[in-house]
Amino acid sequence: MISTKVLQEFQSIVGVENVDDSKAGRLVYSYDATPQFQSMPDAIVAPRTTKEVAELLKVCNAHQIPIVPRGSGTNLCAGTCPSEGGIVLLFKHMNRLLELDHENLTVTVQPGIITLDLINEVEKHGLFYPPDPSSMKISTIGGNVNENSGGLRGLKYGVTRDYVLGLEAVLANGDIIRTGGKLAKDVAGYDLTRLLVGSEGTLAIITEVTLKLIPMPESKKTLLALYEDMDAAAKTVSSIIADKIIPTTLEFLDQPTLKVVEDFVKIGLPTDVKAVLLIEQDGHPDIVARDIENITKICLAERAVSVQAAKSEEEAEALRTARRSALSALARLKPTTILEDATVPRSQIANMVKAINEIAIKHQLNICTFGHAGDGNLHPTVPTDARNSEEMERVELAFAEIFAHAIDLGGTITGEHGVGMMKAPYLEWKLGKEGIAAMKAIKSALDPLNILNPGKIFAKDSRKRVVISK
């Protein structure tokens, strides 16, 4: 617990109205979007400036109080669950767009700005910020940077990391640092920008972000390819990439996912097929037309039963919205929805989908799969019920096998959601003991007292690697 004296120190820094230690206040910041994780913080503090953040950190450092930075709490790895108490640092006041630089094509923002608000603002000026996590309507840039979020456009344009040029951040001891800048080239020392992106709030508190923008693509086309079996859909993904076409978006949804999504969006998605691919290409109209034609041919050659083009931008947007709601819509099936984001090299998509289905049968589970097929980032999801402890055990076993399989195929345990608490026990499978040690060395150099989002990324115990029978 935090003493009254420390609370008063917080209050004198940010004002009484920006410190909340009521039970209700603490409860509503005890969770994020990750099922099964909840823990009460001691207080919620909402700073207004970088200077206030620095002063707060000095107080926390002096009293060894954990700090959990939090945007909108949409993350899926329990990265913002205050597992060890302490304070939740809210960025609701620090949500301004500071500068749109038309000459350097950059935008500088505070971490609390909602991603979609930023996207809309730059698009007004004909500029493009490609990372578009499914939660972009809700999530903040600060959260996206900390978790290194991906999105539907990741295949062609990359993830958040690829657009962060510079950061302002506060270290655990209260020092304010600046990394990178509006530079296209910069090799001065260690790349702290890249180190902090995806560090899940464990290395520093990010207080300002400079992002790279690119010109808006001139045109865009959207396709929906329908399949009678999952394997054919998965093979299509590999064939498109092998044909040296990089679509903007190449998303996969299986039948159970299609059904719940259609139940929510009611836009007439085909629920009688086993799988669909949502494919988009953007760019110069001639190239888009050529790519779309080739993609259509490949889909049909790989046994798509039909390939439909969206007739209007509204129709295309409806399809994208449908895809973005997939995870939450799956909650319609059962009370608890557990999702993972095992990721493999994209040439292995078909193998991974096959393995997931076999694992589902083996453990008698219903596993729905959707995801960013084009970048190998799949979301096998189990609709279950947390009250059914026997089934929950099987779910855990199944996911352990899925992670093991992904790693065997040259993949990873998380493609875009982050490690947080959820994947922490599996991190060693991916990095090895030496890899973990290297990361821990960085952590203890920057945060010796372990006050920045403790309990995340590094687990107390790593899980024993399961042996996969091949």
Positions in the binding site for other proteins (CB under 8 A): 22-25, 27-35, 40, 72-74, 92-93, 95, 114, 135, 137-139, 261, 263-264, 325-329, 331-332, 335-337, 385-386
332 or 465: whose CB is closer to other proteins? 332
Least CB distance from residue 332 to other proteins, whole Å? 5
Cα–Cα separations (whole angstroms), residue 229 to 161, 239, 243, 277, 368: 35, 16, 22, 12, 14
Q: What is the C-alpha to C-alpha distance for residues 327 and 261, in angstroms, rounded to an integer?
A: 9
335 or 432: whose CB is closer to other proteins? 335
Rounded to the nearest angstrom, the gap between the alpha carbon of residue 399 and the centroid of all alpha carbons in its chain is 18
Q: What is the C-alpha to C-alpha distance for residues 252 and 275, in angstroms, rounded to an integer?
A: 7
Q: Which helix (H) or strand (E) holds 27?
A: helix 23-27
Least CB distance from residue 257 to other proteins, whole Å? 11
Q: Smallest Cα–Cα separation from 60: which of 41, 74, 77?
A: 41
Q: What is the C-alpha to C-alpha distance for residues 408 and 412, in angstroms, rounded to an integer?
A: 9
Least CB distance from residue 188 to other proteins, whole Å? 37
Residue the block writes with tokens 């500029």: 127
23 or 460: whose CB is closer to other proteins? 23
Q: Do residues 366 and 315 touch, judged by C-beta distance below 8 A?
A: no
95 or 148: whose CB is closer to other proteins? 95
71 or 454: whose CB is closer to other proteins? 71
Least CB distance from residue 258 to other proteins, whole Å? 13
Least CB distance from residue 100 to other proteins, whole Å? 22
Least CB distance from residue 394 to other proteins, whole Å? 19
Which two tokens mark 159? 């993830």
74 or 236: whose CB is closer to other proteins? 74
Strands of 316-410, DSSP E: 336-339, 368-372, 377-384
Which two tokens mark 246? 């990089």
| The pairing of beta strand 164-170 with beta strand 176-180 | antiparallel
- DSSP characters for 96-159? -EEEEETTTTEEEE-TTSBHHHHHHHHHTTTEE-----TTTTT-BHHHHHHHT---TTHHHH--
97 or 386: whose CB is closer to other proteins? 386
Give phi and psi for 302, each to the nearest 5.
-90, 25
| The pairing of beta strand 87-90 with beta strand 43-45 | parallel
Q: What is the C-alpha to C-alpha distance for residues 272 and 225, in angstroms, rounded to an integer?
A: 13
Residue the block writes with tokens 């988009």: 280
223 or 329: whose CB is closer to other proteins? 329
Least CB distance from residue 153 to other proteins, whole Å? 20
Least CB distance from residue 132 to other proteins, whole Å? 15
326 or 360: whose CB is closer to other proteins? 326
42 or 291: whose CB is closer to other proteins? 42
Least CB distance from residue 151 to other proteins, whole Å? 15
Least CB distance from residue 389 to other proteins, whole Å? 15
For 358, other C-beta atoms within 10 Å of its C-beta total 12
Least CB distance from residue 306 to other proteins, whole Å? 26
Find the helix packing angle between 50-63 and 4-14, rounded to 10°: 170
335 or 410: whose CB is closer to other proteins? 335
Q: What is the C-alpha to C-alpha distance for residues 305 and 226, in angstroms, rounded to an integer?
A: 6
Q: 250: which residues sit within 8 A by CB, 6+ positions away? A: 155, 237, 240, 277, 278, 279, 280, 372, 373, 374, 375
